[in-house]
Amino acid sequence: MGVDSELRAAVSGRVLLPGDDGFGEATRPWNRAVAQPVAAVVEAADADDVAAVVRHARRTGRAVSAQATGHGAAPGADGVILLRTGRLDEVEVRPERRLARAGAGASWGRVLAAASPYGLTGLAGSSPIVSVTGYTLGGGLSWFGRRYGWAADAVTAFEVVDAAGERHRVTGESDPELFWALRGGGGDFAIVTAVEFELHPVPGLYGGRVTWPLARAAEVADAFLEITAQAPPALSAWLGRVNIPQAPPMVTVDVAFLGTADEARELLKPLDAIGDVMADQRRVLDPADLGAITNDPADPAPLAARTELLTGLDAATVRTLFGEPIDPIAAVQVRHLGGALADDRPDRGACGTLAEPYLLYTLGLAVNPEVAAAVRERQRRLVADLGGVVAGRKPYPFLTAGETAADAFPAATLDRLRQVKRTRDPDGVIRAGFPV
């Protein structure tokens, strides 16, 4: 029996090899600008399939890279077995213990919908289609991060397959070093088949987007700075700029507040003094509708993104981001951080403390290599123009092509993660999108 036949025989899920119908499409991640020249694609039916694939890879000298949605894909998948975990999509909510368990393929949208009837929520980000597991392995920056910290802080257990193909349940008590690494250090140490995490009560949820013409950007930015200077941890606000064809240039503020609508309106009063509102979508929300705040694109597309952490947001920075032409960049977003993300917690995982108060995210469509290069060059110049407010490191979940784990972690953290890798997977059987 050949190697390929052995792989097909080892699993109950679908195996696709070069030349098979559907192989090319199965290799593609959510960001269509990332090529994945993999050796095989396995759509695991269950955790036993995951273990079988790892054992096969180890025996044949291959590496395995796990993806559910492929949102965190990066160049570097040459020759690996791409393990699709989308079918491991079970979701269980235990309201009496304020816990949830999500399979590796479960999306945040499904978890939020399951938890919402109990007045509970998880620490989800802006997109409901992102997998809980991939998001959490990178740390997970949530709308509620200022109140509760990283999504990884809420994890109570991981169900994993190790580099030997053995299944384990990992907790802070059973394996503290691996538990630390998996909470924000990425998927380079074991393949996670399910994650268990704490849920948080929702006393009320108010949020949405307000949009103005770009001509109002200076006033909107002033209001944003006023709001974030005194915002309680329960309030998150993001300042944005939208610059797309067939639409007028716009400036936006997205907000999410854990509390009552009256409390939120009082905190957000500076926005109400700005005229020419194009749309105001703020309202009382069900936690299951969290994705409606920004309405992130659900369909795959070729994208070029860049993220930076900012040490501050002054008038010069605002002018650079919102007062100058940015073509061909399509969107600029400044997220207010701080709160619990900046707490120096001794029990925190590899994601660590996020001391910087703001995050800058820029995005452009990479419809062809020439346009992609132009977007990246404009992003580079934009960041250079910001000067000293750029912190020089990036959150791990926002790494993109050309960046590495060394751009995200302090040296001591990276050394510790590499020691975990050497100990748990010295042969490199498991490969994350951004390996340590």
Dump pLDDT digits (tens) for 247-271: 899 999 999 999 999 999 999 999 9
Would you tell me the crossing angle of helices 315-322 and 217-230 to the nearest 10 degrees? 130
- Are 52 and 25 in contact by the 8 Å Cβ rule? The answer is no
Amino acid identity at 370: E
Helices (H) and strands (E) in the chain, counts: 13, 19
Residue 287: its pLDDT value, please? 94
Contact yes or no for 303/364 (Cβ under 8 A)? yes
Asked whether the predicted pLDDT for residue 73 surpasses 90, the reply is no
Instruction: Give the span between the Cα atoms of 250 and 159, in whole angstroms.
Output: 44
Give residue 399's pLDDT band: very low, low, confident or very high (50, 70, 90).
Answer: very high
Alpha carbon separation from 130 to 28, 182, 183, 225 (Å, rounded): 16, 18, 17, 30
Mean pLDDT over residues 47-68, rounded?
A: 96
Q: Are 275 and 216 in contact (CB under 8 A)?
A: yes
Q: Could you tell me if 426 and 417 are in contact, meaning their C-beta atoms sit under 8 angstroms apart? A: no
Asked if 84 contacts 68 with a C-beta cutoff of 8 angstroms, the reply is yes
Task: Say which residue, 72 or 2, is predicted with more confidence.
Answer: 72
pLDDT at 69: 87
Crossing angle for the helix pair 3-10 and 47-60, to the nearest 10 degrees: 160
Average pLDDT over residues 302-315: 95
pLDDT at 375 over 80: yes
Greater pLDDT, 61 or 75: 61
85, pLDDT greater than 60: yes
Within 10 Å of residue 274's Cβ, how many Cβ atoms? 16
What pLDDT sits at residue 238? 98
Q: Give the C-alpha distances (Å, rounded to integers) separating 83 from 51, 119, 135, 218, 284.
A: 11, 35, 17, 47, 39
Contact of 229 with 270, CB cutoff 8 Å: no
pLDDT of res. 1: 45
pLDDT tens track for 181-230:
999 999 999 999 999 999 999 999 999 999 999 999 999 999 999 999 99
d(CA 171, CA 178): 8
* pLDDT-based confidence at residue 2 (cuts at 50, 70, 90): low
With 60 as the cut, is the pLDDT of residue 435 above it?
yes
Res. 3 pLDDT band, cuts 50 70 90: low
Alpha-carbon dihedral sign for residues 277, 278, 283, 287: negative
Run of H or E including 262: helix 261-267
DSSP state, 34?
S
Instruction: Tell me how far apart the 2 most distant CA atoms of the chain are, in Å.
Output: 73
Sequence-ordered list of residues with C-beta below 8 angstroms from that of 131, at least 6 positions apart, any chain = 68, 69, 71, 85, 104, 105, 106, 107, 108
Q: What is the pLDDT of residues 10-56, one digit of tens each?
A: 999 999 999 999 999 999 999 999 999 999 999 999 999 999 999 99
**Helix (H, G, I), strand (E, B), or coil: what is residue 418?**
helix
Residue 246 has pLDDT above 80, yes or no: yes
